[in-house]
Structure formats: structure tokens, C-alpha cells
Amino acid sequence: LNAMARWTIDDVNIVDGTGSLPFRGRVTVDGDRICGVEKISDRADADLTVTPGFIDMHSHSDLPLYVDGRAVSKVSQGITTEVIGQCGISGAPLYGHMVDEIGRYFDRHGLDIKYRTMDEYLSGLDRRVAVNVVALIGHGTMRRGIRGEGSEPSTPDEIQRMQEAVDESMKAGARGLSTGLIYAPGCYTPTEEVIAITKAIRPYQGLYFTHLRNEGDRLVEAVEEAIRIVQEAGVGLQLSHHKAMGPHNWGKTHVTLSEVTDVIEGGLDVYLDQYPYEASATDLSALLPDWALDGGKARALERLQDAEARRRIVEEIDPKETRFGWHRTHVGTVSNPIHKSLEGRSLQAIADQWQVAPMDALIKILAENQMRVSMIRFGMGMEDIERVFRFPRTLIGTDGGAVAPDGPLSGGHPHPRSYGTFPRVLRDFVVDKQWISLAEAIYRMTGMAAERLNLLDRGKLQPGYYADLVVMNLDEVRDCATFDNPHQPASGFEAVYTNGVKVWDGKASTGLMPGGAIRFGR
């Protein structure tokens, strides 16, 4: 798959990923590297535009890449590098029962894939994926394997084992640690325990990515916790998919961005990422109280069948969700075929059809899908989205895994962000709303993201850099995926190259797999 031939993209507009103004010129590639960038004119008036490959700063493709390495939903929107292992959930390292849990995922896809360490996981990606991969260590995956599913704080011995696991994974080439403090077991993890584990990435200049402990009523306090964690651990902070969930919380980004600005001015290394939609997506089980998830899915399912536990769940959740709005929460992908018709529909609509209360519909869906069902939540306000997007250190991430309109990852009802994040930013936020310039947007998608990750030879169109390239017709760039019909690749992307090899030809994947793991510190 090595691209050995020398070739040129001639007479195109060039947006080079540095933030500089676009110009008309040509880009020459030799093998897997750019060998020349020549300016023809300061007037960027050609039909096509070339940029560096986009960097998805927040991806959940850890396991999907093993199932279908084409990463169609990503390369079709110009993504050539994915940062995986987010929200505390990663493909590796695996300990204890997590080996069997991940094994069952692969079994469902008819794959015999076995690994345990970060090194083995990353090695398995090389030359079998179309994208470059930057890996994080998922705190939740690691803690579940070492500590188990319980809610009790980890013992000193367990914390030490997790620190050693982090050290081993960082030596294997991981870029940092991620937490999902809103999910089990992150929600049970005391701040002090998170700090102790995060300190293990400091010798490697690792980064701490976090899905905050709360993105709604206690958003401000959750941001303050994240700041405290990195201040005491001595590492950089990435606030994942920053948002304010629920109409009653809209506007809180005024406070959070002010606090982030203050600590940046004080010398703290903080960046954010964002996807350009008013709806989020995660597991439907995330609506349950933390105590109801204690012990894992099996124990949670038992509680859903217990009358007293159900009563407590309803008492705690119903007022919150009624305030949020049951019509705002939609079923995503189900695992039980009998519920296929529920995908994309709101819990309120389902409850009305079944003639039950929304809480009863929620519990029934969770129970009959063995907790394996996702949701889409329409909870964000456009003013907050704009405010976060305009923040000068906001990068772009899909917060979605790689899927495809065909093949093993074509089922279900994913959030359209898996296909449409980057074109939606370009079309809606840049071209139409003009919130920031094209040069600034491309810089955030490429050069700034690469600088943040310490990717020294990616993210810019410069000689010696890897030939991760996007060729697009900016007039035609649009996100085509919708909430009703999400499996729709974007339009306007004429060609996408990873390491000098074409992986998207404007209409379909080429099937070539020139990507693999980017290992740090090696």
C-alpha cells in the first residue's frame, strides 16, 4: 500500500492548515509525504480546494475499526486521523472480565480477535484501517477490569495496578487518559482517585480527556473538578464535547468558558472539542441513577424487575426527565429485533403508542434490550453551541464511531454526526453563518488539532509532512445524514488521502487500508 509514485494536485485553492489565507496553487506528493506546495496566485478562485486531512478529536471507533477498517463514515467527510478511547471507554488495555466482554462483541461480528495490552491492540490496527489512529486509555474500561463493577472506591493496591497499567500503555504509544465520570464506574470514582491515576501520564506529557461528571445542573462544578484534576496531576486538559444540557441549563457556558479562560491565562493547558448538533447521543441506560447501575448490567436488569427498586428509579428519574422533556429523548440503536421500529422515535411518542407512562416505556425498552440500546437527546441550545464554537481553543470531534451504509456496520440508527460533523461545520457554521473564517476552521480541524496532540508531521500542507489530504468542492460540501436517515455520506468530498493513498474517491471507499496506529514516544 505504500504510495511510491510522485503525483501532483494542480490548480486548486490551498488552505494549508496554518490559519493563513487560502491561495491558488499546486500540491506535490512523493510516496506518503508532501514534497512541494507552490503558490500560483493569491486569488483562491479555483473550482476545488485542498486541505490537510481532518483530525477527529473525539471518536468512538475503537472496536468498529476492527470490524470494518474502511471507516466509511469518517473518510467520506475528510477525516484521516481519529482520536479514540474517549469517555473512559477504550479498546485496551483489558483486564479481568473485560477480556470476555470485548470478546463477545467480536463474536457477534463473527471475528476471532484476541488481545489484552495496548501494544497488542495498536499492532492489530496497522495496515488494516483507512485512517490514522491516536489512542487514549479508557479509565472506565481499565477500572472495570481491575476493580470490578462495584461502586466502592478502589483500594491502594488497585490504584497502583491501574497506575502500572497506564504506564505500560503510555510506553506502548498511547497519548493520554480519558474518563467518563458521568458513566459507571467513573461516576463512583472519587476525584482523588482520578487524580492519582492521571498522575501516571505526567512523565509522558500525556493529556487528560474527560466527559465531565455532569453536563447539566452541575456543569460548572464538573468543569471545576476537571480543572482541579489536571492542576494537581500536572497535565493538559481536553474538555470533551463541551455543552450545557437541558433548556433550564442553557447559558451556563458563559460561566464555564469564563473559568476556562481564567485558568488558561494563568498558564493551564486547556482545550475543548465540540460537535455541531443540538442533540447528543449515548446509552439509554445513562438515564438511570448511579446506584441502579452498581454491579454492572446484570445487576441493573435485576433491579428493573424488582418492584421496590423500580419505584425508587421512577421517583428519582421521572421529575428530572419530565423537566428535560420526554419528547427530547429518542431511541437510537436497539439490540432486540422486535424493537427495531422504535429506532429514531421519542420516548414520549412510544409511551403514547403503548398507552403507558414514559418511565414505564423507558424501563421496558431497557429490560427487553438487555440494556444494549442507545439514545439521542435533543438538549442543547444554539446560543451555547455558537459560544463554544467561537471559543478560540475549540476543536472538532464527531463523538461517533465509524459506521457505513453497507457491510457489518450498516445497521442501527446512529447519530448523524458520524457522517456529517465536519461538513456541517463547514457549510453551516463557516459558509452560511460565518462564525469564523474558512482558514480558521480548517486550522482547528487540522493544524491546531495536530499541535494539540503533538503530531509534528501532520495537520499542515508543508513539505515533509504526511500526505493526509482532502480534495473538496466547497460549494457542494454538505452533511446529508439526518436523524431520520443517518446512513448518508456527505457531499462535496472529491477525494481523501491517508498517507498518500486514496481512501475515498468521491463516491465510495477505495477499500485501501494505509492507516494504523500513531504511537507516541517511539
Q: Following CA atoms 364, 399, 130, 168 in sequence, which dihedral angle do they give, to the nearest 10 degrees?
A: -100
Residue 150 has a pLDDT of 87
- Amino acid type, 303: R
CA–CA gap between residue 163 and residue 143 (Å, rounded): 11
C-alpha cell at 464: 515533509
Residue 3 has a pLDDT of 59
User: CA triplet 249, 254, 260: central angle to 5 degrees?
Assistant: 115
Could you tell me whether strands 6-14 and 270-274 are parallel, antiparallel, or unpaired per DSSP bridges? unpaired
CB atoms within 10 A of CB 190: 10
Helix axes 139-146, 98-108, angle to 10 degrees: 120
Q: Can you give 224-260 as a three-state secondary structure string?
A: HHHHHHHHHHCCEEEECCCCCCCHHHCCCHHHHHHHH
Strands 176-180, 374-378: pairing kind = unpaired
Tell me how far CA of residue 78 lies from CA of 237, 283, 390, 423, 428, in angstroms.
26, 27, 22, 8, 16
| Average pLDDT of adjacent 10-residue blocks, the chain of 522 residues | 79 98 98 97 96 98 98 98 98 97 96 96 96 98 95 96 98 98 96 98 98 97 98 98 97 98 98 97 94 93 95 95 95 94 96 97 96 95 98 98 97 95 98 98 98 97 98 98 96 98 97 97 76
pLDDT of residue 138: 98
Phi, psi of 65 (to 5 degrees): -65, -30
Residues 6+ apart with CB under 8 A from 419: 73, 76, 77, 403, 479, 480, 481, 486, 487, 488, 489, 490
- 485 Cβ contact partners less than 8 Å away, ≥ 6 residues apart: none
Q: How far apart are CA 76 and CA 231, in angstroms?
A: 38
Q: What are phi and psi of 293, to 5 degrees?
A: -95, -5
For residue 2, the model assigns a pLDDT of 54
* Residue positions counted in the chain: 522
Residue 415: alpha-carbon gap to chain centroid: 12
Q: Give CA–CA dist 310/218, Å, rounded.
A: 25
Q: Which amino acid would we find at residue 258?
A: S
pTM for the model: 0.95
Give the separation between CA 282 and CA 311, rounded to whole angstroms.
Answer: 24
Residue 451 identity:
E
| DSSP 8-class letter at 421 | H
Phi, psi dihedrals of residue 30, rounded to the nearest 5°? -130, 110
